[in-house]
Amino acid sequence: MKPQKRFDKASNNGLVILLLKDKHQVWMAHSFFGPFHSILLLVKKGRGRFRVDGSSIDLYSGKLLLVSREKQWSIVNPSTSIHIGALGFTMHYIEHGVGQLPRSFIRLWDHDLHTIDLVRKEVSWLFLLLQLLRAKVNPQATSLAHDYILRHGLYMLLWELSGLFRKDSKVPPITHTAGHILVLHFMGLLAAHFKRKHQVGFYARSLKVTPDHLSRTVKKHTGKTAKGLIREILMEEAKALLQDTAPINEIAQMLGFKTLCGFSRFFKRYASLSPRAYRGKTQKKPE
């Protein structure tokens, strides 16, 4: 007997992402989600049956399902060759991990089961987004940047789903594919290089686009420029490091600044305090 494949999954309790690639994984999928998870299921390949609250739905390539909380569900009779993406999140995770979203983004999961049939292009794009998000749930090396990427990636996913179910056409197109993917790839590079590369030009060259195009696209999908995101992540990381005891000149070097003076100017410009003053304020013991 062949050994069972391991789950291609990522989880931090409030957010679970599975990529199901054989019968055993499909049969066990429901056990990875709790009663407070809102579920998305997307079939890329294969067939099966989805059972929820006593009713059944046929699963086939292109089928997208949204399952509300506290629903008892399972997948049965999966075909031998199958590939299903499953994402589950709690409202607590969304509110505290992603931030306030328009109600239309999450109301689809409020009550009944929702389904829609997608064409191959939409399935491929949503699957790519799931794969990119899965890689950020439990990265090998965590940082504030990874959290930032995950928040924006989930925002994009929920935004697209809201549009898909809001439109009247049978197979509504996803119209922001290229821009969203560019932003996610930019954020992936940012997580890996933000401590050494502070210039938009580096990321634009790596992504084979112009700095202006990258900044416009990032601004469109996140509300902030590429330079603004680089600065914001650097500031978050600097503030976190300053709450520890490492010498400030070492922190400056860790964050890619050539001189302590350059780091101090950068920090004071956006925090209105010098690094030393910020450390004194945050480490001051309450009376």
pLDDT in tens, 253-271: 999 999 999 999 999 999 9
Range picked from 2-11, 175-184, 214-223 for highest mean pLDDT: 214-223
| Same domain membership, residue 268 and residue 136 | no
Q: Is 155 among the domain residues?
A: yes
Q: Is 224 among the domain residues?
A: no
More confidently predicted of 157 and 216: 216
Binned at pLDDT 50, 70 and 90, residue 11 comes out as low
Q: Is 266 among the domain residues?
A: yes
| Same domain membership, residue 245 and residue 170 | no
Does residue 114 register a pLDDT over 80?
yes
Q: Where is the domain boundary, 155, 175, 195?
A: 175
Does residue 285 register a pLDDT over 60?
no
Binned at pLDDT 50, 70 and 90, residue 3 comes out as very low
Expressed as residue numbers, the domain containing 49 is 8-175
**Partner residues linked to 11 by β-bridges:** 16
The upper half-sphere exposure of residue 52, i.e. CA atoms within 13 Å in the direction of its Cβ, equals: 20
Closest CA to 64 of 15, 150, 139, 130: 130
Does residue 14 register a pLDDT over 70?
yes
Q: Is 195 among the domain residues?
A: no
Average pLDDT, the chain: 83
Binned at pLDDT 50, 70 and 90, residue 13 comes out as low
Neighbours of 102 (CB within 10 A): 10
Q: Where is the domain boundary, 157, 175, 193?
A: 175
Does residue 135 register a pLDDT over 80?
no
